[in-house]
Amino acid sequence: MWRKLLTVLSAFMVFTGTNQAHAEDGYDLWLRYRPLDSVAKARAEPALRYLVGPTERPIIAAAADELKRGLGGMLGATPGQHQTLDEAGGILIATRDSVHLEMAELPFDRLGDEGYLIRTLEIGGKRTIVIAANKDIGALYGVFRLLKLLQTGQPIDTIDIADAPRLKLRVLNHWDNLNRHVERGYAGQSIWDWQKLPGYKDPRYTDYARANAAIGINGTVLTNVNANADILTAPYLEKVKALAEVFRPYGIRVYLTARFSAPIEIGGLKTADPLDPAVRAWWRAKIDAIYRVIPDFGGLLVKANSEGQPGPADYKRSHADGANMLADALAPHGGVVMWRAFVYAAANPEDRHKQAFAEFQPLDGKFRDNVLVQVKNGAIDFQPREPFHPLFGAMPKTPLMMEFQITKEYLGFATHLAYLGTMWEEVLEADTARPRRGATVARTIETPVDTGAATGMAGVANIGSDRNWSGSQFDQANWYAYGRFAWDPDAHAEAIARDWAAMTWGSDPAVVTPIVAMMMASREAVVDYMTPLGLGHLMATGHHYGPGPWVSDLARPEWNPTYYHKADATGIGFDRTKTGTNALAQYAPEVARRWGSPNTVPDELLLWFHHVSWDYRMRSRRTLWDEMVVRYDAGVAAVAAMQARWDGLKDKVDPQRWEEVHSFLAIQQDEALWWRDASIAYFQSISKRPLPAGHAAPAHDLGWYEAIKTPYAPGGAQ
């Protein structure tokens, strides 16, 4: 009995920690700064006793604050702030011009505007950890890197690190409406409390900026791509200014979405024609006004002529005409236009896969220098698996930004554990076979079209007002991984998962290893139980929650799942080869050849490009139908495996977060089974094939699944 009580007590003490009065709820993200174990602490302490830096500068002040907070948490002692390096054990936060670095020969030229180096050096005979950069923001990033070394259990005895981001714009896209509804948001309301701004700046905005700076994010688009022109009016610009002030010391610029028809809606004009002089003058004046309020405003993001949004095509003008009009007005201020390539037209019977390429590729070279075309990772829409978008590598004269969706609109919302790092890595390392700007997708976005030209990545945020920010503990990993890939598109999902797990759950390998294993298998599990073998877009209507492969009655053909899977008595899949829509022709010939035959296309993309018979022999020697069933079951089994791993961590992580993940995995298990059963029931009604031996029949008949309606599922358009 006593022993039991002691165990309970000691567990309580470990998990509450010395500096923590409340249970963990995930609010701290990757900035938990929990006490190091005594060995690590004893090793690190002597090197981290005080700091020196020009803290009168706001970004350096933020860096010093973070260092104090982090070391205070991990070592239990806040480093003192000194004016000079007066003894060993100092941390020098400095830029190139620092008097302390006069004698040190450091490779500043390799660091660019945002890079940093961390080195252990003898300065004036004192052993010092130097965090140096060309600009203050680099030093802030360096501080976060030093903290990460400690959080992930790395030794800091001798450090020699130099790092710089490979992309210039690393931005979040918030699909947040002014009424605080977040389109495709599963983490509560928008964190932007427009009503209370600018008077009240929620401290959460600062924590948001810290979390983003820690992973190198340097821009945030505050508003939904389905834009509301009101954000561009004077009262709202004051609110935006208040946020910009909070973010500035963290190197984060604000951007807004521009509704193309704003000159009509808030400007009183009769047209929004981009070639109309009055329209052009209106935008110039509006953009000048924005910069008067927010001098370092980043620029505008535009969704035009897509899903009902207004755009230049309304006036028979091209996307380049529209983008260039805004670009001309932004250029004098150093602002950019991020113009989205996610377009498909209401009246166009062409394969949706082909439409963005058809519209944008001919415009290569026609955009101003400060325009980036923002392209989703795949040609359809953030599916659990899509081949890379054919535009990558195909517009060598235009900066193309990658757009990833961090929020899991099509991957189980907040409750399904799906680590997207593996999906992004797969896309980024895909070979476009268009070597002009480097062959992989990563290279095509990293290589500037000209020296100094813009490069970038955008991530549709999964952040909301929930205490844990992302709607689930594990969805934080996707925000984290996005930042890391935006910094380095050649990064590796597994290494990122390892860092995240150590920072978020604890650096003990007995915790990190199973968590990383769960994460690394998780996205494939979702693919398997939702859309195996290259299927896609089979989700229920509108909110996209749950299966709806049978839906065929929506107004536009390409909104219907049946449009995508094309299952019939002969087989299943979308023929995008020459005998079908020939979307493959939009890829480089080598890629088109590899994917153009069922014999050479990977199983994972088979049904994306081919309509094949139910009895088609797969590489596994199973028939396609049997293979589908096997995959559905593999997906469900993979969730069970995650549950078992998580159960094994019960005593190794804090109880509140453990419990939450445990419950979410149970939801995922139920829903994976729902997907599996509903999909098999439906496709079997078409394939008319028996289930392979050992695979159970769905629990209910097809009608039962078709009757499930969830009209209040969160995140829909509003």
Q: Considering beta carbons, is residue 356 or 678 the nearer one to ligand BDP?
A: 356
Whichever of 151 and 306 has its CB closer to ligand BDP, that residue is: 306
Q: Considering the complex, what minimum distance in angstroms separates the CB of residue 717 from ligand BDP?
A: 5
Query: 10 Å Cβ neighbour count for 200?
Result: 11
24 or 409, CB closer to ligand BDP?
409
Catalytic residue annotation: 307, 381, 409
Euclidean distance between CA atoms 485 and 483, whole angstroms: 6
Q: What is the dihedral of CA 421, 423, 429, 431, to 10 degrees?
A: -170
* In the complex, minimum distance from the CB of residue 342 to ligand BDP, in angstroms, rounded to a whole number: 5
Q: Which is nearer to ligand BDP, 307 or 369 (CB)?
A: 307
Contacting positions for ligand BDP (CB under 6 A): 183-184, 225-226, 303, 307, 342, 381-382, 409, 717
Within 419-492, where are the H helices? Answer: 421-428, 441-446, 476-487
Which strand ranges, in their side-by-side order, compose the sheet holding 90-95? 80-81, 50-52, 90-95, 126-133, 116-123, 160-163
Residue indicated by tokens 């010093």: 64
* CA trace torsion 624, 630, 636, 642 (10° rounding): -110
CB of 541 to ligand BDP, least distance (A): 11
Q: Which is nearer to ligand BDP, 401 or 502 (CB)?
A: 401
3-state secondary structure of 50: strand
Minimum CB distance to ligand BDP smaller for 90 or for 715: 715
Q: How far is the CB of 596 from ligand BDP (least distance, A)?
A: 27
CB nearer ligand BDP, residue 663 or residue 718: 718
Tell the residue number behind the tokens 């008097």, with chain if given. Answer: 99
Is the distance from CB of 601 to CB of 594 less than 8 angstroms?
A: yes
Residue 416 CB, nearest approach to ligand BDP (Å): 17
Shortest reach from residue 146's CB to ligand BDP, in Å: 37
User: What is the C-alpha separation between 702 and 691, in angstroms, rounded?
Assistant: 15
SS3 state at 30: coil
Burial 65-86 (b: 16+ CB within 10 A, else e): ebbbebbebbbeeebeebeebe
- DSSP assignment string, 664-699: HHHHHHHHHHHHHHHHHHHHHHHH-PPPPTT-PPPS
By beta carbon distance, the residue nearest ligand BDP is 381
The answer to whether the peptide bond before residue 532 is cis (omega within 30 degrees of 0) is no
Q: Least distance to ligand BDP from the beta carbon of 606, Å?
A: 24
Q: Which residues contact 569 (CB under 8 A, 6 or more apart)?
A: 686, 688
Say whether 298 sits in a helix, a strand or coil. coil
